[in-house]
Amino acid sequence: MSTPLLKVEDLRVTFNIRPRGAWPWTPSLPLHAVGGVSFELEKGETLGIVGESGSGKSTVARAIINTVPAAGGRVLWKGDDLLQMEPQKRRAHRQAAQMVFQDPLAALNPRMKVGEIIAEPLTTHAPGTPKAEVKRRVGELMERVGLLPNQINRYPHEFSGGQCQRIGIARALILNPELVICDEPVSALDVSVQAQVINLLSELQRDLGLSLIFIAHDLSVVKHISDRILVMYLGRVMETADADTLIERPVHPYTRSLVQAVPIPDPVVELARAHPVLEGDLPSPLNPPSGCVFRTRCPVAQAGCAGDKPGPQEIAPGHVSYCPITAGERETTGA
């Protein structure tokens, strides 16, 4: 069996937070942003990560590339644990994984020209690259992402949001990475521009053999680009399956609520179907519920849900839910 490109095991991230208005000597409280996330990513595969705000999606991405420190777990890149590496050795691996950020304009230095922005990773990691080669690489990437070569000396404020995101994608590709992590790359864009950017990412993945981690709130957007989808809630994994299975046959109550919230482009069907709403608010990660963190809002919660943290329940090969109640119901009904 081949080694996956990326394997995350029991990843945990904790921030120490001092309450607002507290005295400087007041002890800080642990905020459990990510509480034991595990998944694998194969070469050329796209993993979608979905969940509402505060579910820990972006923190997982940042922990993978080590821009936030992990409190525990392992991040294995082709079998090597990145979290245990010396900084100098980890730097050599950093070229292989790049990020595309949520706010395209805020991610670009307003004082730098587009050509300089795209070339910056290359000049940082390979400072000896000839200027002519750098300019050639930048020009090729601008054309590949749909920008005109004569725009190379413009500044970010002269571009639209969609064009700025294309600049960010070109910057992520300049080092020929194997993995690109897209942290809600289309949430700040218009719907028509979202489709263009997603199609561009799909085309680049196919042509360059990239692996993608695609983070978003919109389940319909994630389904369009992902091979598999991982659902998160309050720093924990709720369910994971291939994209079609998770949309058509969701098992976990939280996944079902996300699927039911996706609008259907047929007004008659959309008006006729039920629209259940989750009760209550998202609990604070400073004091998460015991056992299953979703139990305080779950429509099928039982007394036992407050006990031990639920383990993975295999529904089918590649389809895992972290709710033993609905997994048991599915086995009983044979659904």
Average pLDDT of the chain to the nearest whole number: 89
In this predicted structure, the answer to whether residue 12 has a pLDDT above a threshold of 60 is yes
| pLDDT of the residue at 329 | 63
Counting residues of the chain whose pLDDT is more than 70, the rounded percentage is 95
The size of the chain, in residues, is 335
Cβ atoms within 10 Å of 93's Cβ, excluding its own = 15
In this predicted structure, the answer to whether residue 105 has a pLDDT above a threshold of 80 is yes
What is the sign, positive or negative, of the torsion defined by CA atoms of 158, 97, 258, 265?
positive
Using one digit for the tens of pLDDT, what is the confidence trace for 231-257?
999 999 999 999 999 999 999 999 998
Tokens of 88: 């100098």
Mean pLDDT of 181-207: 90
Judged by DSSP in three states, 212 sits in strand
Interaxial angle between packed helices 131-144 and 114-125, expressed in degrees from 0 to 180 and rounded to the nearest 10: 120
pLDDT band of 265, cuts 50, 70, 90: confident
| pLDDT of the residue at 270 | 66
CA distance 53 to 250: 20
CA distance 144 to 130: 21
Mean pLDDT of 31-54: 93
Higher-scoring residue by pLDDT: 132, 268: 132
| pLDDT of the residue at 228 | 96
CA distance 51 to 254: 9
| pLDDT of the residue at 27 | 84
- Window from 32-41, 159-168, 222-231, 304-313 with minimum mean pLDDT: 304-313
**End-to-end Cα separation, the chain, in angstroms:** 30
In this predicted structure, the answer to whether residue 330 has a pLDDT above a threshold of 80 is no
Mean pLDDT of 289-298: 91
In this predicted structure, the answer to whether residue 14 has a pLDDT above a threshold of 70 is yes
Mean pLDDT of 76-80: 91
In this predicted structure, the answer to whether residue 266 has a pLDDT above a threshold of 90 is no
Mean pLDDT of 57-77: 93
Using one digit for the tens of pLDDT, what is the confidence trace for 119-178?
999 999 888 899 999 999 999 999 999 999 899 999 999 999 999 999 999 999 999 999
| pLDDT of the residue at 37 | 94
Closest CA relative to residue 51, chosen from 67, 41, 37:
37
Identify whether the C-beta of residue 231 lies closer than 8 Å to the C-beta of residue 253.
Answer: no
Single-letter amino acid code for the residue at 39:
F
What is the set of domains in the chain, with CATH numbers?
A: 6-19+29-43+51-95+218-333 (3.40.50.300)
| pLDDT of the residue at 41 | 95
Mean pLDDT of 29-52: 93
Beta strands in 18-140 (DSSP E): 29-41, 46-50, 72-77, 80-81, 97-100
Judged by DSSP in three states, 88 sits in helix
